[in-house]
Structure 1
Amino acid sequence: MQDLNALLERSLGQLGYELVDMELANRGKLIRLFIDKPEGINIDDCVLVSNHLSNLLAVEHDIDYDRLEISSPGLDRVLKKTSDFVRFAGERAQVKLRMPIEGRKNFLGILRGVDQEYLVLECDGVEQRVPFSNIDKARLSPEF
């Protein structure tokens, strides 16, 4: 899977897209990709990437799949890379931890940035420093 991830990141990067997340389902027969670019994603982007990757994966004989899905990450996009937390500083996010901090594993707050190995998250007016190694899941949580 790491080889596939590296192949996809490299190929999408050359097209000007970022691989936000990848899901494999049905024993790897379904590849679901979430892509983004600074100005956002539309259906034409999904079609372009789908066609490009279908051709690329056809050449890679060791990648066996039946279906490829391309999608935008949505308004509640997942945050995985340090650069995601930097890019979305000032936005509201939900962060789930592996191990509790002060008795809590779930935080909802404003992303305030990154400080070396820590995410700085403001919850109820108090800044929390959360080690990236302790983050299980994080995603934007837009208010409507």
Structure 2
Amino acid sequence: MAQPIKEIITEMIQPFLDNEGFELVDVEYVKEGNNRFLRVYVDKEGGIDIDDCGRISEVLSEKLDEKDPIPDAYFLEVSSPGAERPLKKLSDYERAVEKNVFVTTYEPIDGAKEFEGKLLSFDGDTLVIQTPRKKASVPYAKVASARLAIVF
């Protein structure tokens, strides 16, 4: 079976990112309308800027040209994950403790599938979220998606 594009791109760019102090947040390869997009989300302590994105894009473009792992035409986008950054890895959840999060689950927990509030704790198995109404314990295994949430 062919290796998924996300894995291929991760293997290509991870050594450069590690060496330069960047964190690979996510890789997406999606079709929107008639176009395909390869999106690479990168961050670093203190955030990234347009120059960082440009540098990473150049390095990745060279590697993609060398190996040509994607047969279709596509647009390459390198960017910050933004203020409402997705939580993908265990370390993302650990860093999000004491921050506001928005979490959706695969199935209802105490009658709800969406939880927004302050992430009080995460032990690797359970997220404890203080919502406006109550404290919710959400099993990590039931999390469908999660991101940081901006409170206005």
Shift of 1:12: 2.2
Q: Which amino acid aligns with 1:118?
A: T
CA distance in 1, matches of 2:93, 2:82: 16
Query: Unpaired segments of 5 or more residues in structure 1?
Result: none
Q: How many residues align?
A: 144
Cα distance change of structure 1 residues 56 and 101 upon mapping to structure 2, 3 Å threshold: same
TM-score of the aligned structures, taking structure 1 as reference length: 0.88
Q: 1:112 to 1:10 in 2, by over 3 A?
A: farther
Is the 8 Å Cα contact of residues 19 and 34 (structure 1) preserved in structure 2?
A: yes
In structure 2, stretches of 5+ residues that fail to align are none
Is 2:10–2:27's contact at 8 Å kept on the other side of the alignment? Answer: no
Identity of aligned residues (%): 35
1:66 aligns with 2:74: yes
**Residue aligned with 2:56, SS:** helix
Are 1:134 and 2:142 matched, yes or no?
Answer: yes
Q: 1:47 and 2:67 equivalent? A: no
Give, in angstroms, the shift of residue 11 of structure 1. 3.6
Establish whether residue 17 from structure 1 lines up as the match of residue 22 from structure 2.
yes
Q: Report if the CA contact (8 A) 2:124-2:140 is conserved.
A: no
Instruction: Say whether 1:34 aligns with 2:41.
Output: yes
1:122 to 110, 126, 130: 130
Equivalent residue for 1:4, pick from 8, 14, 24: 8
Q: TM-score, normalised by structure 2?
A: 0.84
Amino acid at match of 2:150: P
